[in-house]
Amino acid sequence: MKKVLIVDDVAENRYILEKLLGVHQMEVISAQNGQEALDKTYADPPDLIISDILMPVMDGYTLCKIWKSDDRLKHIPFIIYTATYTDPKDEAFAKKLGADLFVIKPQEPHVFVETVKEVI
């Protein structure tokens, strides 16, 4: 079973993805911000991370930069999933930091699940 880490400061957003991916036989763990995500990852690394950008404590851009510069984590795919930063320059910046995919919220559930499966 593949393990996916969801990082979003909005509980409802985490809940929706937890249920959606859980139905598709994925183990889902979640964090409210980038620092919590790193703490959980170092204890038990996931197979994939899906992160929002705009969060307190540590945002998704900072998390991605740290993630992709860490030899222990950089091989794990990183998806940015955002409703706030949707401009092409935001996507370009995320890709420059190492994000494997940039997805704008919301997505149709079946499209989102297929995207996640392709990345994993």
> pLDDT tens digits for 101-118?
999 998 898 899 999 999
| Residue 45 near residue 73, CB atoms below 8 Å | yes
Neighbours of 10 (CB within 10 A): 13
Domain count, the chain: 1
Instruction: Please write the tens of the pLDDT for every residue from 64-101.
Output: 999 999 999 999 999 999 998 889 999 999 999 999 99
Element (H or E) spanning 82, and its range? strand 78-82
Q: How far apart are CA 40 and CA 61, in angstroms?
A: 18
Confidence of residue 16 (pLDDT cuts 50, 70, 90): very high
Which residue segment(s) compose the domain that 77 sits in? Answer: 2-119
Q: Where are the alpha helices (DSSP H) in the chain?
A: 11-23, 34-43, 60-69, 88-97, 109-119
In this structure, what CATH number is given to the domain that contains residue 82? 3.40.50.2300
Task: Give, to the nearest 10 degrees, the angle between helix 88-97 and helix 60-69.
Answer: 30
Phi, psi dihedrals of residue 107, rounded to the nearest 5°:
-120, 150
The pTM is what?
0.95
